[in-house]
Structure 1
Amino acid sequence: MASALYPSFKALLLGGDIDLAADDIRAIIVDTADYTYSSGHDFLDDVAAGARVAVSPALTSKTITGGVFDADNATFTAATGDSVEAVILYKHTGSDATASLIAYIDGVSVIPNGGSITAQWNASGIFSL
């Protein structure tokens, strides 16, 4: 699966219901043996708990410039569990049923060993519109 923006995110963004600069945006690293991207997924409760390896705190130093969303690298502390092959960005609300999925980023390959894992975003930004 190639990286993608979730269609539900696009609709929320166009409707003004997500503010990437102001909202609490977090990243979660996932095992793709336990989660398969679907364009029909809209909330974090669509990502099986068994697929979730670790969650970052809120992204910091978020910027939106020239249609590109970027932030400081995300760190996942004390990560343990299955191998990781993707990162999912989502709007944290405190409830999986209302935490909107934003982006699915594949191309990751790491095996957690209890230490910290850092998601180093592409130098040109996390994603662009």
Structure 2
Amino acid sequence: MIAKYYGLYFKSLSEAKINLAADTIKVMLCTSAYTPDQDTHQFKSSVTNEVSGTGYTAGGATITGVSVSYNASTNVLSFDGGDVSWSPATLIGANAPRYAVIYDSTPATDATRPLIGYINFETDDYAPNGGTLTIQWNAGGIGSVTVN
């Protein structure tokens, strides 16, 4: 898997459009028909081709227990949260997920809901057929930035 930040996530942070500690952070699933653009996608309204199917709710799942920490010995700022699952999930064929998109769902409209990052499941779409689809975050957190 490949995980990346949207470049404009940092612009949204600097403009106080995201409060990781207080806002509702979600992860939604999109098909291979969505093409992430790290340089121009800033809000959820730019995201297309969300999956649909049994066990999946439009807008995705809430990431619970989101926290932000800073490790002074490594100069790493990271944020983390609970793993997310959809069960039972039937997302096959044209509705198989290729991307997981993380965003702030607190603002009122998709045009103002800032994007954070995304995971590319790479060349093979993950197609659960009645099983559990789980995104288990890295032990180091959902995302991190090294301060130099």
* TM > 0.5 fold call: yes
**How much does 1:115 deviate?**
4.1
**How much does 1:5 deviate?**
1.2
Summarize the Cα distance change of 1:57–1:15 in structure 2 as closer, same or farther, 3 Å threshold.
same
Residue aligned with 1:42, SS = coil
Report the TM-score when normalising by structure 1. 0.83
Residue aligned with 1:29, SS = strand
Counterpart check, 1:121 vs 2:147: no
Counterpart check, 1:75 vs 2:82: no
The counterpart of 1:88, out of the listed 101, 106, 119, is 101
Where does structure 2 lack aligned partners over 5 or more consecutive residues? 71-76
Summarize the Cα distance change of 1:77–1:97 in structure 2 as closer, same or farther, 3 Å threshold.
farther
1:52 aligns with 50
- Please list the CA deviations of residues 6-52 of structure 1 after superposition, one character each: whole Å capped at 9, or x if unmatched: 122111112322111110100011212x111112011112111xx21
Bigger radius of gyration among the two: 2
Report the TM-score when normalising by structure 2. 0.74
Where does structure 1 lack aligned partners over 5 or more consecutive residues? none
In percent, how many aligned pairs have the same letter? 31
8 Å contact kept, 1:69–1:127: yes
